[in-house]
Structure 1
Amino acid sequence: MTDFSYADLGWTAHFARQCDAGSTSPLRVSEVHRSTVTALSPTGPHQLMVPDGTGKIAVGDWVLANGETITRILDRQSLIKRRGAGTDAREQLIAANITTLGIVSSCNADFNERRLERYLVLAADAGCLPLVILTKADQTDEPMEYVRRAERLSLLLTAVAIDATDPMEVRRLHPWCRAGETLALVGSSGVGKTTIRNALTGEAAAVQDIRESDAKGRHTTTSRALVRTTSGGWLIDTPGMRALRLSDVSEGIETVFADIEELALACRFSDCAHGSEPGCAVRNAIDGGMLDPDRLRRWRKLRSEDMRNSETIAQARARDKSFGKMIKGVMKQKQKERGD
């Protein structure tokens, strides 16, 4: 037997409503492998088979099983996902049923508002709380300036600056990973996610040094796992992300950029492009110093990217096929002209 209950694992009424009175005991996925998953229950860990493959299961999922075979994935309370690289890439599931997304950056060259906004959109679309964790606070004279810069991005987020190598500093994160709570860590390689994980869980996972020139590091965590914290909750550490491709996150963009969305409603024209149109409330806010023009550019770029990446796989293939035909047509025409 383990020393935790279903409530400790994060079981709530949301999941209970999906189960029949006599259904099999639920389990929470702690690791996803090539053809099996490891799942937890108060009786301990279990190895489960997945009939349709593990691509539709994320660490943190609640599942029902018949013996050693998963029969159902329960509807999630939150899901962190991204679109993979390449035309044929489908959604990559990162973590499910998390309470808080811990967006880890650092008080140095890694700090980037544009990247933070992308993670904030991810959290808002997933339906979880954002927490910006700024490491290396001991290596700057003005850690609170980084905190202020982060908190200006959204009224929804909380930002904390810590020295991740100091266990007492990391204890400030305990409120987000107590019993029944799940904290997932995301961010670039080398920002201190593994150091934070070690401090929160009591593990001794290996860490990597980073380059001083650009604050970049190598991947330390290579897979995701649900690990219990010393404060009674759960932590999901994720590999460092070099690219975060967003898709189907329009609601998240609206939430994070609510200030621009609200201003746009006051524009004279409903299809205002916020350029030189008369009566544009967005441009008026920029001219009055109430809106940063860089924030408007980032909003536009995210909306454009979301529309492009949200097309279906079939649409993407059709677009690329059409583009390929056009290129071949142009090449043939050039070859014909050279022959003439």
Structure 2
Amino acid sequence: MNLQTLGWQPFFQQQLTLDDYDTSVVARVSAHHRSGYQLLTEDREVTLAVHDSLPSMTVGDWVVLDKQMQFKRCLDRSSQFSRKAAGSKLAEQKIAANIDTVFIVMSLNDDFNLSRVERYLALTNEAQVEAVIVLTKADLCEDSYALAQQVQSLDAMLMVETVNALDPSSVQALAPWCKTGKTVAFLGSSGVGKSTLVNTLLQDDTQETGGIREDDSKGRHTTTGRTLHTMPSGGVLLDTPGMRELQLANVSQGLSDTFAEIEALAAQCRFSDCSHQNEPGCAIQKALQQGQLDERRLNNYLKLQREQARNSASLAQLRSQDKQLGKMIRSVQSENRARKNK
């Protein structure tokens, strides 16, 4: 194993100093558990226990260690994926870092949902990472071609591949994105066949797979953690658990890129604060009436806009509170030191 097979690229190389080459070791975070981080170097696996002195890291991060395998610093990221933490918890959760391509996996049975694809695309576009839509379980669908065309209609430039996750020759369609030095990640809801696809790409039964539930034709959730794997093709694969509550935050540019044609229409409305409902001169309503815009797509755009605005405001409030708390703690510590010195 060498750094390139772990996904090392010139972007990270440029961040090293001459001193780093003599006194340091470069490693990549391969797994993140509650108790600590697992890291891979060129010749060993290292474990770092979670400590207050460590920055917040995630799977895919590159770090610099000293010769005793102690943490020195984390390198700047080429990309980062994060979300609002699932549930009501007010926090931002990092999902992965330094990804080159995201395989957005969706099955062609009852899981098929264009609005969910748009949600993942907003996240991927915000990170400025290439997205490939991977459609699985075509054998359970009567007209896979028609559904694939629906996905393609979201964006003429979008890469869409239909594969049989159990067939290595079919999965070979994904090979161009899995070359040495490249890191790919999987996003998708539970049970769409990600684990089966991972096993085929790795040529190993690394991930446990589950069958199909008879009541709703959906697969069972099997992956429980984010981990890095090296592929026989030379690339690096990051598998993620199914994210049932992928709430968007701070992805305004990603939404603009995902719904570019809607935002272009909005710019033509008579009023700059048009809500696109019943205002006169609304270019979006006109496009709807003329059949140039899909109502489902518009409704999802407005829904995701509201969600990301709400979550972004909540996280901004949290950051402000954290700053105020930090100032208060530093003030108390300063006063305590002043009293001790008297």
The answer (yes or no) to whether the contact 2:175–2:233 under 8 Å persists in 1 is yes
CA distance in 2, matches of 1:78, 1:316: 23
Shift of 1:215: 2.7
Could you tell me which residue of structure 1 aligns to residue 175 of structure 2?
Answer: 174
Alignment of 1:159-238 (within 5 A): 159-204=160-205, 205-238=207-240
Look up the match of 2:329.
none
The Cα shift of 1:50 comes to 4.6
**Normalised TM-score (structure 1):** 0.87
Q: What letter is aligned with 1:161?
A: T
Name structure 2 gaps, 5 residues minimum: 321-342
Residues 43 and 115 of structure 1: CA distance in aligned 2, closer, same or farther (over 3 Å): same
- CA contact under 8 A between 2:251 and 2:308: conserved in structure 1? yes
Task: State the shift of 1:86 in Å.
Answer: 4.0
Task: Give distance in 2, aligned partners of 1:9 and 1:292.
Answer: 42
253-262 vs 179-188, which deviates more? 179-188
1:29 alignment counterpart: 29
Farther off after superposition, 62-71 or 162-171 = 62-71
Aligned residue in 2 for 1:332: none
Q: CA deviation at 1:87?
A: 4.0
Q: Which residue of 2 aligns with 1:289?
A: 291
Q: Shift of residue 161 of structure 1? A: 1.0
Instruction: Count residues in correspondence.
Output: 315
Q: Does 1:13 align with 2:14?
A: no
Equivalent residues of 2:104, 2:120 under 8 A apart:
yes
Secondary structure class of the residue paired with 1:22: helix
Residues 40-90 of structure 1 show CA distances to partners (whole Å, capped at 9, x for unaligned) of 222232223454377821111111112322221111111111111344431
Partners of 1:124 and 1:252 within 8 A in 2: yes
1:82 alignment partner AA: R
Q: Structure 1: which amino acid aligns with 2:216?
A: D
In the TM superposition, what whole-angstrom CA distance separates every residue of 1:77-122 from its partner, at most 9, and x where no partner exists? 1111111134443111111111111111111110001111100001
Provide the C-alpha distance between the structure 1 equivalents of 2:89 and 2:280, rounded to a whole number of angstroms. 42
Change (3 A) 1:228 1:121: same
The DSSP-based 3-state class of the residue aligned with 1:231 is coil
Q: Report the 3-state secondary structure (helix = DSSP H, G, I; strand = E; otherwise coil) of the residue aligned with 1:310.
A: helix
Q: Give distance in 2, aligned partners of 1:278 and 1:312.
A: 33
> Displacement, 1:13?
2.3
- Determine which of 258, 273, 279 is the counterpart of 2:281: 279
Alpha-carbon offset, residue 274 of structure 1: 1.3
Shift of 1:313: 4.8
Q: Deviations over 1:282-304 (max 9, x none)?
A: 11111111111221111111000
Runs of 4+ in 1 over 4 A off after TM superposition: none
Q: Following TM superposition, by how much is the alpha carbon of 1:12 offset from its aligned partner in structure 2, in angstroms?
A: 2.0
Q: Which residue of 1 aligns with 2:159?
A: 158
Report the TM-score, using the length of structure 2 for normalisation: 0.86
Given that 2:83 and 2:246 are in contact with CA atoms closer than 8 Å, whether structure 1 keeps it comes out as yes
Task: Check the 8 A contact 1:26/1:64 in 2, yes or no.
Answer: yes
What is the identity, as a one-letter code, of the residue corresponding to 1:40?
Answer: L
Q: Does 1:137 align with 2:138?
A: yes
Q: Does the CA contact (< 8 Å) of 1:257 and 1:299 recur in 2?
A: yes
One-letter amino acid of the structure 1 residue matched with residue 64 of structure 2: L
Q: Is 1:257 aligned with 2:254? A: no
The separation in 1 between residues aligned to 2:54 and 2:133, in whole angstroms, is 30
In the alignment, the residues of structure 1 paired with residue 253 and residue 46 of structure 2 have an alpha-carbon distance, to the nearest angstrom, of: 36
- The structural deviation recorded for 1:33 is 2.2
Contact 1:51/1:70, CA 8 A, preserved across alignment: no
For structure 1, which runs of at least 5 residues remain unmatched after alignment?
319-340
Instruction: State the distance in 1 between where 2:134 and 2:226 align.
Output: 19
Higher mean C-alpha deviation, range 134-143 or range 173-182: 134-143
Q: CA deviation at 1:231?
A: 0.8
